[in-house]
Amino acid sequence: MVANKVVMEQDAQRLQQAQEHNVGKYIINGIQSREFRIFISGALSGATSKTFTAPIETVRTRLIVGVGPQSITGSIREIIHKFGWIGLWRGNGINALRSAPLQAIELSVYECVKKRIYSAHKRWAIEGPPQVNVLGQAVAFPVLYASPSMVAGAVAGVVSTVSCYPLEVLKDRFTVHTGAYRSIWHAFGKIVHEEGMGAMYRGLLPTLIGLVPYSAAYYFVYDSITREYRQYTKRRQLDSVETLFIGAFAGLVSSAVTFPLEVARKRLMVGSVAGRSTPRNFGHTMKIILQEEGVRGFYRGISASCLKVMPASGLSWMCYEKCKEVLHVDTQQT
């Protein structure tokens, strides 16, 4: 009886050791995986680019929602006069906290979806594309013409935005309603108490409406130019300066195309500002802007937006590609 008990205890110890070994091995494999290294690269690139461009983002947000002087230099002078130079980085803590997981999730999803689409394209090129039944006839669905980077970019933008949207609302509230909140938790509690939990997702629908074409264009432009430039220079890797300029151009093009939707969603997210009533929905927001400011109102702050988007996009891609290089991540598709 005693011998059996000893044997059972030894078996239990061996089982526990085996489980601990498997868990440790699983964690190590996860850390060493390509996906985890992409995630870390995305997080670092997001936090770095947002911190460097925080002053421009602060001015841009104030111009878009109509707070303070409606010029870049005037807005900068007012912020420095009231809050000092540190005021230009107001809300950056939340912005970095939002941007790190946002960029990490977005780039991870982008690389994963793009890789799967490329694999599917190779398979469909041999086996033929999927077919759909139309009035009893099998019709080949032209999926081979869909750009992998465009589709992957749209999917990645939607997934990352839905995951981190409340943090963007908090960041914009901190930037616009200066002095109204003491901390992140105070802002969250006050907004939920006064406006309900739905306020943390106010503007999500117009965000997604504008995000799909923005993300699709953004990743398509960057991926296409990068691919063509590699072929032209006959180099596998581009240097940091080249990546910086290509990323900046991709950000400029995609931002310019979707800027009116960006103005509307920012107005909807920040709520009541400068005596204006809180917009009820996306359509109401668009109507108010058109009635009060005309078509020009949809391009308020576009100069500051370009000044922010271009360096932010360029720095983000430069940091991301450099982190992948350091972490030995090869995501180039052939």
The pTM of this model reads 0.69
Domain boundaries, the chain: 35-327
Q: Which CATH superfamily is domain 35-327 in?
A: Mitochondrial carrier domain (1.50.40.10)
Model confidence pLDDT, tens digit, residues 173-219? 776 666 677 777 777 778 888 888 877 887 787 778 778 888 999 99
Given pLDDT bands bounded at 50, 70 and 90, which one contains residue 27?
low
Model confidence pLDDT, tens digit, residues 116-153? 888 887 887 777 777 767 666 766 666 556 788 999 99
The sign of the CA dihedral 216, 220, 222, 223 is positive
Residue, of 298 and 251, whose pLDDT is higher: 251
Q: How many CB atoms lie under 10 A from the CB of residue 330?
A: 9
Q: Each residue of 14-53: b (16+ CB within 10 Å) or e? A: eeeeeeeeeeeeeeeeeeeebeebbbbbbbbbbbbbbeeb
Phi/psi at 68 (5° precision): 75, -170
